[in-house]
Structure 1
Amino acid sequence: MRKFYQSVGVEAADTGHVVTLDGRMVKTPAKASLVLPTKALADAVAVEWDAQDEKIKPDTMPQTRLASTALDRVMPRHNDVVTEVAAFGGTDLLCYRTNEPADLMALQDRVWNPYLGWAATELGASLRVTNGIIPVAQEEKALERLKDRVAAHDAFELTALHSLTNGLGSLVLALAYMEGFSPLEAVWQASILDATHQEEHWGLDDEVAEKRAIQHADLTFTAEFISHLRNK
């Protein structure tokens, strides 16, 4: 799509802030009004629209994309999205450990156990650990506690949590970041621990490296989105 506007602005609205293009409010892909909960997020979205050149490139507008997803896809299906995100708790990455080699087993214990300890203490969700890939059944009480924690997020933060959980492959790691237990880089490294251990011996494939860079960038954009939501 060619750029069709000259000026970008941010205005206060009854329920938040909106971004305007030549005085007209930005809409989501589903044609809903893009009303944003904080001025910080509205400013970030405005910067993305202002940075467009002759053609509008949606893939360069992650804050706009996440905000639109919250309004178009998450808000109308809040309970369904909560269920989808919470389901990760039943097969969380941190609960599946290797049988060998010994150094990787020790590394998993050292890096992952503190997160499971935090989940048990702070979230009330004690998750069982197994060695190998055979599924381990988690206690219903633990899964309910995780679901309650997920459900407590509004549509915008739930969108971010969904993105983090998918990107990290772990609901516990995603919640640990969102609730301030661990910084983004630490949960990211924890999520790729098995792969990086293997790569120390066999090297990193170029295609894998490219995909991982994209994945890391998406997580960084999501972290920025969360920061904008919490910066009143």
Structure 2
Amino acid sequence: MSEWKAKRFWTAAEVTESEGRFGIALDGRGVKTPAKRGLEVPTRALAQAIAAEWDAQDDVIDPRGMPFTRTANAAIDKVATQKAEVADLLAAYGDSDLLCYRAQAPEELVARQAEQWDPFLDWADKALGARLQPRQGVMHAPQDPEALSVLGRRVHALDAFELAAFHDLVSLSGSLILGFAAAQEVQSPEAIWDISRLDEIWQSEQWGRDDEAEAMAARKREAFMHAKDVLTLLNSR
């Protein structure tokens, strides 16, 4: 038996506005999330991106081609309903941040990590008011509680839509600091993504490419770039 697929039933998607929120209407009928909440977002730019996804659908609806819609749904149905828990989850990355766990050898890798990662720890100290300390090896060593508290307050200050995008920046890179750096455009998202993959890039240089691992990394990179695009559209208020 073939799988049933939803088909396009509308002629045009348009952006609507009500009390400072922006929705998407299909032939005048408002779009709802999977949990039947109104799909309304904080900025017209994000709503336009979502409407463009709906307009781009062919006869059969393909959710894979609607990343902005998926992110908005997640923000409304999931993040907004458990915002504090999501913020706590992301803030916890600070205590085991990728940038803080360094190789003990070989010297070239140790030097590369210091060259690429130390500037971000310095930036976090100055721009975010939180100094995280690097350590060698993989054994967990707690960071300064005050620094973690500062970072935690910054995470909790994000709204549900920002948090939905920020979640992917942090979880995909493995670094709370790189997540903030991408959000604040310290470097391009492409450069920050490569910096988060320093160890993997090193391994491929030494032992050769792993096609399966590279394919997975490409999918994660696409999701990371999308998360940054969402934040850019949210900042166009």
Match of residue 19 from structure 2: 14
Question: What amino acid is the match of 1:43?
Answer: Q
Q: Deviations over 1:6-51 (max 9, x none)?
A: 2211111123111111110010111100111111111000010011
**Which one of the candidate residues 197, 212, 218 is aligned to 2:223?**
218
Q: 5+ residue gaps in structure 1? A: none
Match of residue 71 from structure 2: 66
Q: Deviations over 1:95-150 (max 9, x none)?
A: 00001110000000000000001111221211121111111111110110110111
Match of residue 9 from structure 2: 4
Tell me whether 1:121 sits opposite 2:126 in the alignment.
Answer: yes
State the 4+ residue runs in structure 1 displaced beyond 3 angstroms: none
Task: Describe how 1:155-170 pairs up with structure 2 within 5 A.
Answer: 155-170=160-175
**Cα contact 1:13–1:35 (8 A) shared by 2:** no
Seq. identity, %: 41
- Name the TM-score, length of structure 1 as normaliser: 0.97
**Cα contact 2:32–2:38 (8 A) shared by 1:** yes
Task: Describe how 1:1-232 pairs up with structure 2 within 5 A.
Answer: 1-232=6-237
Q: Deviations over 1:37-83 (max 9, x none)?
A: 11111100001001111111111111001111111111121111110
* Count of aligned positions: 232
Question: What amino acid is the match of 1:94?
Answer: L
Shift of 1:222: 1.1
User: What CA distance in whole angstroms lies between the structure 2 residues aligned with 1:73 and 1:58?
Assistant: 18
Shift of 1:180: 2.6
User: What CA distance in whole angstroms lies between the structure 1 residues aligned with 2:138 and 2:75?
Assistant: 34
- Name the TM-score, length of structure 2 as normaliser: 0.95
Q: Secondary structure at the match of 1:125?
A: coil
**Cα contact 2:190–2:225 (8 A) shared by 1:** no
